[in-house]
Amino acid sequence: MYLLYIGLFSLLFLPHGAFPKEVKNGQNEQITCNTRQEQGAFWFRVQDDAKFQFIAYLSSTSKKIESDKFRAHQSRHTLTLQRFDKANDSGLYSCVSVNRNKLHFGQAVRLYGEPDPAPTFKPITTVAEPTGVTTTPCVSNSHEVKKSEKAFSVGCEFHILVPLAAGCGLLLILLIITILYCNRLRTRWCPHHCKRRPRNRPAGHTPLPNQHVF
């Protein structure tokens, strides 16, 4: 019956006033019970997963220990946890004594392990693959420059000569048209210039019969 009361009280009230203590893995930890133990004391723990576990009972006439991981000393009112394991031994530890049908709880201690070290990642080193360096021989490009200059000059001459030749051809056509037009006007307005005059015949020349004289 006492164990039932102890378990309920431990789960409800002890965690709020527990003294925290960090313990290294593999280290022995000693816990002291500061209650009056004339009629004996119970040792218990509440693990992090809320699992209640009875550890030991100590009195002046008897001693009972549930696990080889613990050692109890009645004279010094202490309990020693051997080889602390963070995964299995982390939790709340306390004791309770019974005196005249009353329960007296000692100071609760909460043991916890060291925090896990942060994972370290090896730096990833990338080795750059050597790339083949190609060198371009220094070749004089004077020939290419001359070709480009020649092409440029030919292009310029083409653009200049074509309009010039077209203009000259147009002028020649206009000149021919003008000459023909002037000749036509001259024939129309000056017909006496176009009449044929009689040719002078030498003296003593007699005209032939059937020959008309103009």
In what helix (H) or strand (E) does residue 177 lie, and over which residues does it extend? helix 142-189
**Average pLDDT, integer, range 154-183:** 75
Per-residue DSSP letters for 6-47? Answer: HHHHHHHTGGGGPEEEEE-TT--EEEE--S--TT-EEEEEEE
Q: What is the pLDDT, as a whole number, of residue 213?
A: 47
List beta partners, residue 34: none
Give the H/E segment covering residue 171. Answer: helix 142-189
Virtual CA dihedral for 200, 204, 208, 212, nearest 10 degrees? 30
Residue 184 scores a pLDDT above 60: yes
User: Which H or E run includes 172?
Assistant: helix 142-189
Kindly indicate whether the domain formed by 2-113 is annotated with CATH number 2.60.40.10.
Answer: yes
Long-range contacts of 32-36 (CB under 8 A, 24+ apart): 32/76, 32/77, 32/78, 32/106, 33/77, 33/78, 33/79, 33/95, 33/97, 33/106, 34/77, 34/106, 34/107, 35/95, 35/96, 35/97, 35/104, 35/105, 35/106, 36/97, 36/99, 36/104
Ramachandran class of 93: left when φ > 0, alpha when ψ lies in -120 to 50, beta otherwise? beta
Confidence of residue 28 (pLDDT cuts 50, 70, 90): very high
Say which residue, 165 or 56, is predicted with more confidence: 56
pLDDT tens for 105-148 read 888 899 999 888 877 777 777 776 666 656 655 555 555 555 66
Q: What is the mean pLDDT of residues 36-48?
A: 78
Q: Given this model, what pLDDT does residue 153 score?
A: 60
Q: What is the pLDDT of residue 26?
A: 92
Tokens linked to 175: 């000149």
